[in-house]
Chain A
Amino acid sequence: MISQKALPNGHLHPLTWTMRECVDIYRKMGFRVVQGPEIDSPDYNFDRLNFPPDHPARDMQDTLWIDEQRLMRTHNSNMQIRAMERFAPPVRFVVPGRVYRNERSDATHGVSFEYMEGFVVDRGVTMANMLANLADFGRAFFGSTTRIRFRPSYFPFVEPGLEMLVYYGGRWLEVMGAGMIHPNVIAQMKPTGQGLNPDEWSGFAFGIGVDRFMMIRYGIEDVRLSFTGDYRFLKQFPGPEENQ
């Protein structure tokens, strides 16, 4: 009879390890986790995030619909509005969780993705604050000497918007999208039933594709492999160290 002690540990999924690392870096910078529904309304997922109706920006996120009132969230930016119904600023939040797109899966994309959204709302938050924060995260995850670049980009719920690139493994990789939270979105944050005043409050938000971070971290070339349950894959990843 094998004693409990002799039992070897199981294994923790590399996606869980990667998500924990992202959450941990941000928790140490004073952020807290907030979570919300994966099925949401177009109101929270698009309208109140400044996606104009009948605008090609809606094509950026092919959506899985349940009916006209319900969709699978395409990002966890929906929590920018939802969390701010429960909390008054200042806030620093990260939102780990699954998001969904109506896209065929391939080696680098599944139908669902593990994302970590993060956002800050406070008085006097500047673009300089955002750039420093994102660069700090980039160096914490990819290594303290990592070269980092920013490129202007567009997401309807931020202004200015950007993408961060890191030089890793001999090439530049796009690793996250971010931006200063759009004043129209700030005005949709209603901790007291009334929208925040964008002249008083500002903030930034970012989104991290954790599946992609996992692929980079462990050199996994086909993301679909991670979700088949192949034990030859899973057992290569360690369990947590037992702290007794």
Chain B
Amino acid sequence: MKLLLSWLEEFIDTGNRPVEDIARDLESLGHEVESITHLPLDNVVIGEITALRKHPNADRLHIAEVNIGNRTIQLIFGQYFPVKVGDRLPVAVATCQLPTGLVVESRTIRGVQSDGMLVADGELGRPLTTEGILRFEATNKPGTPVADVIGWRETIFDLSLTPNRGDVLSLCGVARELAAKWQQSRRTRDLPVFHVSDNHPSLLATIQDRDLCPRYSARLIANIAIHHAPTVIAGRLTMLGHGQYNSVVDVTNYVMEEFGVPLHAFDAEKLTLPLVIRRAKTGETIQLLDSQSYDLEDSMLVIADQTGPVALAGIMGGLKTAITNQTKTIILEAAYFEPTSIRRTRTKLKIVSDAAYRFERGTDPAALEIASNRAADLISRGLSAQVGQLHMTGGALDSPTIPFDPTRIDAYLGTHFGRKKIAQLLKRFEFQLTDQTISVPSWRHDVAIWQDLAEEVARLEGYDQLPQKALAVWQMPPTPDDSHYLAVEALKDRLVWAGWTEHIGSSFLSKKEIELFGMNEAVDLIKLANPVSEEAAYLRSTQLISLLKAIAKNPIFTDLKFFEIGTVWKPSANKFTGEQTAVSLIWCDTQPQTLPFLDQQLGTRLEKKILDKFKIRRPVMFSEVPVSFYLTRTDNHPPPVMRPPTQPIFRPPSRFQPVLRDLAILVDESVTPIDVMKTLQEIPQLIDVELFDQFSGGQLPPGKQSLAFHLLLENSDHSLTSQEIEATIKQVKDQLETTYRAKIR
């Protein structure tokens, strides 16, 4: 949820705390601040009007010469407020962006050049003045940034709220949390009390289904005119990412941001009152504001008039009764809907809306009146509108209570706060306490048991302030699973010692892949109902494809030997999952392998037809057996090595193809291949040295041996040139000649 700092100030005095401190306090309460954005205001400066004249080609436009300190610019404005020579006003100088996102550019308006804009409060996004624009004293120099003079910058917090805290999805909700943290009271607003006598039928709405709609309120507002929302409302909503519609709909969004209560307005003249809040009848349909038609079911709650459904309760209004520019009278709805039914309905119909988002997380049933009054006030402001009485129907509010047992809370947390401190902490979150019980505020749908209260206590105290105490020393006795885990890890160690490299691949197969291997979808495989993509539609029944991809990925390396130990699913083996752990080996050769720790030949040769599909141009052998095959045949395995010998510093492979060169040298028999590899480690661009042949005797001089290496060269920025390759090879040869008196063969 996005939160505007200036707007939050209307709900709580932040006492000029730095925004970073506010963010830290919100985080300590469990409300993660994903980002803090300072809106651009630096481009708005004080401009002094030095000359004025009418636009020659447009009646309503004026031209001003404006001194902005270092120079004078010309701009065009429409006269929404009086402007005279000598006035000092906020000016945006092209090219710049305002907090609302509006970009001010130089342009020609009906033949006259305009290089800036007079900035009204709405474009600044802040209600500052009654007149609608800031005016500065003559002591403020032209060119001074406005933000410096008024000491204000606009900030947007982007909060990532957990789904249990619907109560924080509003300015009022955030203010409640901060008020508790800062031990101060919230700012409340005096709203007009509407005493207008109601000459409309007393019955505006009746609830037929109290389970799904415990409370519903409606009021008539007559004699209104639809126009654009005031600039402050429009500006703030824009900054938060709301669309702009009209003065009524924008106000309902505005008040939802303030109090967390989604409101809905109907065009009263298109309704046949009274409204009925009921379940839909099977076969009913409704066209919603998104212009789509939906088939309704009897599990879904609707607002209906005497002719049929006019809104999908808590989710979206109907198109037929929507506010238009001709609307004169509205019914303003403020209601509390049961969260799970809202979620079921909107999931079924695949509708996303701000209202549903809040209702399914739980709104405050006690806030209907204040939200409705606030909206009525904003909608009727400046109009000779008649605001009708609030008609509230539905049950009384009963706040759940929890037995108050501070001893248990202390014992659970491992603290020694005592009754008094725990009571004080809970009161700050506006829980009502008696000796024996605690009643939960109407907005806190997440608190039901004493452990929830323990969290409130811990949260407000701050998790980082809580004591820490180590668990008692105790070893759980060995379990079969533990031994199994260690045995599998030990098997990996033995494979690595025998020269195999571990690969970890995807658990999924694509349709194309299963067709390639002629697998029978119905018998051999488990298919996902909602795969992320067609590439991952099936659970793998073998690790062969994963390992073939690994071979195909590395055409340049010889003697590749990969293994993978992971889960495969063979549904024919077990009805529910067919899950088993497979050990799979793949290597580039024509011959079966024996492992030093297993008295058994492994491997079958893969068909060329298959290899061709993976563009593999060399013979490949493969073996796959259940892990039990190894574990039952290798008894005295050493325990696995749980830590690596060194922590390597990882270097990402280049995007450019490496180059392979072979090199054979003649050296003393005392020189080991490992020595040679270590010697060459420091040469840049040489990323790998691999031994592929070693022999002595025969025609070689006595005491000498031949070593042959693959050298792998690579550069992270570009493909190597032949000069670079030759230079590196020369460096290798020089190094070996100097260090080992090696002869290049």
Residues of A within 8 A of B (CB): 1-2, 4, 6-17, 20-21, 23-24, 27, 29-35, 37-39, 52-57, 59-60, 64-67, 70, 72, 87, 90-93, 96, 98, 100, 102-105, 111-112, 120, 124-129, 131-133, 135-136, 149-154, 156, 159-162, 180, 182-183, 202, 217-222, 225-243
Contact = CB atoms under 8 A, between A and B. Distances in A.
Nearest to B469: A128
Contacts of A87: 479
Contacts of B463: 131, 150-152, 162
Contacts of B560: 231
A14 B567 CA distance: 18
A12 B476 contact: no
Interface in B659-714: 673-674, 687-688, 690-691, 693-695, 712, 714
A59 B505 CA distance: 27
A178 to B, nearest CB: 11
Nearest to B546: A229
A92 B504 contact: no
Nearest to B508: A111
Interface string B501-527: 111111110000000000000000011
Nearest to B694: A2
B396 interface: no
A126 B485 contact: no
B421 interface: no
Interface stretch (B125-133, B237-245, B488-496): B488-496
B72 interface: no
A231 B553 contact: yes
B215 interface: no
Interface in B461-510: 463-464, 466-471, 473-479, 481-482, 484-486, 489, 492-493, 495-508
Contacts of A149: 464
B269 interface: no
Contact of A90 (B27, B414, B474, B644): B474
> Interface size for chain B: under 10, 10 to 19, 20 to 34, or 35 or more residues?
35 or more
A180 B412 contact: yes
Given A87-B479, A126-B412, A154-B30, A56 B163 contact: yes
Given A59-B163, A229-B550, A7 B499 contact: yes
A124 to B, nearest CB: 8
Interface stretch (B79-87, B530-538, B616-624): B530-538
Contacts of A132: 468-471
A62 to B, nearest CB: 9
B626 interface: no
Contacts of B451: 159-160, 180, 182-183
B164 interface: yes
Contacts of A4: 596
B559 to A, nearest CB: 10
Nearest to A57: B163
A227 B650 contact: no
27 contacts: A2-B694, A8-B674, A8-B691, A10-B495, A13-B502, A30-B476, A35-B485, A38-B567, A39-B579, A54-B339, A98-B507, A103-B532, A105-B532, A129-B470, A154-B163, A156-B164, A160-B451, A160-B454, A161-B455, A218-B648, A219-B649, A221-B652, A230-B653, A232-B687, A239-B496, A241-B645, A242-B497
A222 B648 CA distance: 17
Nearest to A83: B481
B449 interface: yes
A86 B165 CA distance: 35
Nearest to B554: A231
A238 B648 contact: yes
B638 interface: yes
A38 B178 CA distance: 42
A225 B563 CA distance: 17
Interface in B12-65: 27-30, 32
A79 B42 CA distance: 55
A20 B471 contact: no
A10 B496 contact: yes
Contacts of A52: 340
Q: Is the interface of A mostly helix, strand, loop or mixed?
A: mixed
Given A60-B163, A240-B641, A66 B528 contact: yes
Nearest to B408: A199
Contacts of B643: 17, 20-21, 24
A59 B100 CA distance: 32
A155 to B, nearest CB: 9
Given A10-B501, A159-B455, A151 B468 contact: no
Contacts of A183: 449, 451
B482 A34 contact: yes
Contacts of A105: 532
A72 B569 CA distance: 12
Nearest to B454: A160
A220 B32 CA distance: 26
B452 A159 contact: yes
A136 B32 CA distance: 24
Contact of A33 (B464, B479, B646): B479
Interface string B284-315: 00000000000000000000000000000000
A143 B703 CA distance: 49
A151 B412 contact: no
Contacts of B360: 56
Interface in B366-422: 411-415
Given A32-B478, A92-B476, A240-B645, A64 B528 contact: yes
B603 interface: no
A9 B449 contact: no
Nearest to B648: A236
B475 to A, nearest CB: 4
Contacts of B196: none
In the A-B complex, the 10 residue pairs with the smallest Cβ-Cβ separation, listed nearest first, are A229-B550, A128-B414, A152-B30, A126-B414, A240-B641, A160-B455, A154-B162, A232-B653, A150-B463, A132-B468
Given A128-B413, A153-B162, A33 B482 contact: yes
B68 interface: no
A59 B347 CA distance: 11
Given A132-B471, A149-B464, A150-B463, A231 B530 contact: no
Contacts of A126: 411-414, 469
Interface in B558-587: 560-563, 566-567, 569, 576-577, 579
Contact of B502 (A103, A104, A129, A234): A234
